[in-house]
Structure 1
Amino acid sequence: MGNATIKDIARETGVSIATVSRVLSNSGYASQEVKEKVLSVAKQLNYQPNAVARSLKIHRTNTIGVIIPDISNSYFMKISKGIEDSIRESGYNLLFVSSDENANKEKEMLQVLFEKRVDAVVLATADESGKMVKTIKSAGIPIILIDRKLKGTTLDLDLVEEDNICAAYQLTNHLIQQGHTKIGVINGSFKVSTGIERFMGFQKAIKEYGIEENQDLCYNGNFTEEDGIEAVKHFLSLEEKPTAIVSFNNTMTFGAILQLKKSGLKIPEDVVIASYGEVEAAQFLTSPGIISIHQLPYEMGIRTGQIILDRLVHNIKGPVHEKFTPKLYVSD
C-alpha cells in the first residue's frame, strides 16, 4: 500500500487517530498492547511519516541551507565538510546550492531555502545587497556568513572569514623580497569582500616598498579558471612581461598554470606563481616551487557548525565575528 496515512492505520487497528498519532510520535500514553498493534500495522502498510507536516508542527526541519559560489572549488567543499562534521551528531543535515558567483541566482536560492523552512542559512555571498537576507533574519532564521562579508546592510550577522588583507600582503611581500618588482595580479571579483581585501593587501605591500601600481599588470576576473587563462594571455602580450604572477584564488591560479604550460613557460624558472589558496590539481603538473597561502577551510567549517549549534540548540545569542589567519607556504 502506497502513501499510507495515520487514518489508514487507525482504521486497520480499530483505535483512534489520536492514539495512533501518540504511538507514532512516542508521546503521551498508550498501552503496550496498543503500541505493538499500531507499530505492527504501520510496518505492514509501509507507513512513512510526512516530514513536511511534521516540520510545520514542530517548527523545525533539521536542515541547514548552504549557499556557496562555486561547488567545484575544493575550498568551499572543505568548509562544507567541516560544517557537516560539526552538526551531524546533533541531527542536522546540509542542503547545498551553488550561486555560480551570480547575484540573481543567489537571491533565488535564498528564497528557495526560505520557502523550504531551513533552520539556518550559511552564506558565502556573491551579492552586494542584503534585502533577502534581511527578510530571512527578520523571520528568526539564523544566517551565518562565511568567507565573505555582506555589503549594503547594517544587519548584525555571524561571520567566519579569513584575514584576507594580511594573507595577500604576505604573498606579495614574499615576491618582492625575492626581487620581483614587475608582478602580474589576477584579481577576483570586486563585488565581494574577498576580491577587494586581497587586492588591498597587494597594494599595501607594494606601497611599503615604493613600487608604483601598474594597471597593465592588473587583470580583474571573477574567481574562475577562465580568468586565470585570460590573465596569462594578457600578461604575455605586454612588452614588459611580469616576472611573477600573484593570483587571488586557487581556481584562477590553476587556469594560469595551464596557460603558462600551454605557452611553453616553466614554473618557477620563467615565471614565479604565487597563489592565494593551494592548487591541489597542480601536483599532477610538473610545476614545483608554487608559493601559496595555506588556508584553513575545514577549521572554518567546524567553527561555523559550532555557531549554528549555539543558535539552534544552546540558545546562545550573537553575533560572532571569527577571523582566521592563513599562513604562507613555499613548496620545495
Structure 2
Amino acid sequence: MSKATIKQVASAAEVSTATVSRVLNDSGFVSEEVKNRVLEAVKRLNYQPSAIARSLKQDKTFTIGVIVPDISNPYFMGISRGIEDVVGPEGFQLTFCSSDENPKKESQLLQLMQEKRVDAVVLATSGDNDPILERLSGSGIPIVLIDRKLKSLETGSKLDQVTEDNIDGASRLTRKLLEAGHVRIGVVNGPSRVSTGRERYAGVLKAMKEFGLEPNPLVFNGDFSVDDGIRAVRKFLAADPKPTAIISLNNRMSLGVLLEIVRSGLKIPDDIAVASFGEVEAGALLKNPGLYYIDQRPYEMGQKAGEILLSRIRKDEPQSEPLYEVFHNEINQL
C-alpha cells in the first residue's frame, strides 16, 4: 500500500495543501472546524509527514550528533541519556558514534556529521582534532565539548564546555591515599593527548608536592581501557619496590585494576589500596574493599550539555560568548 501524500490529505479535507501544512506545523490561523477536518483526514489516511521535507523547509534535521570514545562505557552512557532526556521532548533525536579513542576515526565521524547536516554536535574528544573542530564551529554548527577539552584551547576556548574539575578531584583522591600513609603509589593514567589524562595526572603530582614528597610516582599510561588497567597492575606488581597503593584515573581502567588484583590473590586494601576516578560498579562485589572513588555525575553533565545545545540551536545565546560548566565531584568510599 502506497503512502498517503499531503495532496491526498488536502483533497480528503477539502482544503489546500498550504492549509494542511499550517495545521501540521501549528503556524498561521486555521479555524477549529477546518483544523478538525484536516486532522481527521490525516488519521484516516495514516499520513506521515516527510522528515526530509520538514528539515529542508525549516533548515533543520532535528538530529544531534554525539561522538564519545566508548558508548558502552557507563559514564558516557549516562551522559548520553542526560542529553537525550533534555533534547528529546523538543523533537530532537541523537545519532551516537564511538571514536574508540582514535583521533583519525573521530575526524571521519565529524566529517560524517557535517555531511548528515546535524543541527549540533556533542563531543568527548580523543584529541588532535582542534583545527577540524574550529572549522566546523566557524561554519555555524554548535559544538559542545563534554568531559574533555581541546589541547590548544584549554584556556580561552571559543567552544562550549561541560567538564569536571579534574585537577582538584584527582588531587583530593590522591590525598586520601597519602593520608593513609601510602608514599609509594602507582598511577594508572590515560593518554596525554587527552585533557583528562593531563589534568588528572597534574592533580596527583599536586597532592604529592603538597605532602612534601618527590612528585615521581610509578606511572602506566594506558588508553582508558579495561585491558590497560590489567597491564598496569602487572607492571606495578613486578616493580621493586612494589607500590602499596594504586590510583586509577578512569573508571574502565579501574575495573581492570580490580580484576587483576583479585586474580593475583591480593586483598584490597590489606595488600594494596586502590582509589578510582569514577565509580566501578563491580567494586561493590568485593568484600570490604575500602575503595575510594570520585562520584562522577554523568547524567547531570549530559543534562547541562542538552540545555546548552537547545540554547545554541534556538540562538538564545550569542556564539561569541562560550558557555562553561564545571562539575565539582565528591569522594566516596565503598
Common topology (TM > 0.5): yes
Larger mean Cα displacement after TM superposition, 30-39 or 169-178: 30-39
Please state how far the C-alpha of 1:41 moved relative to its aligned partner: 4.6
Aligned AA for 2:196? T
Determine if contact 2:67/2:97 at 8 Å carries over to the other structure: yes
> Compared with structure 1, are the counterparts of its residues 235 and 116 closer, same or farther at alpha carbon in structure 2 (3 Å cutoff)?
same
Aligned AA for 1:107? S
The aligned residue for residue 176 of structure 1 is 178
Give the whole-Å Cα distance in 1 for the aligned partners of 2:22 and 2:221: 61
RMSD, aligned α-carbons: 2.4
1:231 aligns with 2:232: yes
Larger mean Cα displacement after TM superposition, 159-168 or 72-81: 72-81
Q: How far does the alpha carbon of each residue in 1:276-332 deviate from its partner, in whole angstroms, 9 at most, with x for none?
A: 11111221233520011122222222222222232233612231122122222233x
Give the whole-Å Cα distance in 2 for the aligned partners of 1:28 and 1:61: 22
Please state how far the C-alpha of 1:176 moved relative to its aligned partner: 1.3
Please state how far the C-alpha of 1:10 moved relative to its aligned partner: 5.3
Please state how far the C-alpha of 1:185 moved relative to its aligned partner: 0.7
Alignment of 1:1-332 (within 5 A): 1-9=1-9, 17-28=17-28, 39-152=39-152, 156-214=158-216, 217-286=218-287, 288-313=289-314, 315-317=316-318, 318-331=321-334
> Compared with structure 1, are the counterparts of its residues 88 and 168 closer, same or farther at alpha carbon in structure 2 (3 Å cutoff)?
same
Please state how far the C-alpha of 1:250 moved relative to its aligned partner: 1.0
Determine if contact 1:274/1:292 at 8 Å carries over to the other structure: yes
Look up the SS of the partner of 1:219 in the other structure.
strand
Please state how far the C-alpha of 1:243 moved relative to its aligned partner: 0.5
Aligned AA for 1:229? I
Q: How far does the alpha carbon of each residue in 1:222-244 deviate from its partner, in whole angstroms, 9 at most, with x for none?
A: 11000000001111112211100
Determine if contact 1:129/1:151 at 8 Å carries over to the other structure: no
Please state how far the C-alpha of 1:183 moved relative to its aligned partner: 0.4
TM (norm. structure 1) is: 0.89
Look up the SS of the partner of 1:55 in the other structure.
helix
Please state how far the C-alpha of 1:29 moved relative to its aligned partner: 6.2
> Compared with structure 1, are the counterparts of its residues 268 and 108 closer, same or farther at alpha carbon in structure 2 (3 Å cutoff)?
same
Please state how far the C-alpha of 1:248 moved relative to its aligned partner: 0.3
> Compared with structure 1, are the counterparts of its residues 303 and 17 closer, same or farther at alpha carbon in structure 2 (3 Å cutoff)?
closer
Please state how far the C-alpha of 1:16 moved relative to its aligned partner: 5.0
TM (norm. structure 2) is: 0.89
> Compared with structure 1, are the counterparts of its residues 326 and 63 closer, same or farther at alpha carbon in structure 2 (3 Å cutoff)?
same
Percent identity over the alignment is: 53
Please state how far the C-alpha of 1:272 moved relative to its aligned partner: 0.2
Give the whole-Å Cα distance in 1 for the aligned partners of 2:39 and 2:246: 66
Aligned AA for 2:285? F
Aligned AA for 1:311? R
Look up the SS of the partner of 2:151 in the other structure.
coil
Aligned AA for 1:134? E
Look up the SS of the partner of 1:144 in the other structure.
strand
Q: How far does the alpha carbon of each residue in 1:70-108 deviate from its partner, in whole angstroms, 9 at most, with x for none?
A: 112212222222222333333333322221211122122
Aligned AA for 2:220? Y
Aligned AA for 1:293? I
Please state how far the C-alpha of 1:22 moved relative to its aligned partner: 4.3
> Compared with structure 1, are the counterparts of its residues 67 and 3 closer, same or farther at alpha carbon in structure 2 (3 Å cutoff)?
same
Look up the SS of the partner of 1:54 in the other structure.
helix
Aligned AA for 2:177? L
Give the whole-Å Cα distance in 1 for the aligned partners of 2:61 and 2:24: 18
Look up the SS of the partner of 2:150 in the other structure.
coil
Please state how far the C-alpha of 1:159 moved relative to its aligned partner: 0.9
Larger mean Cα displacement after TM superposition, 267-276 or 133-142: 133-142
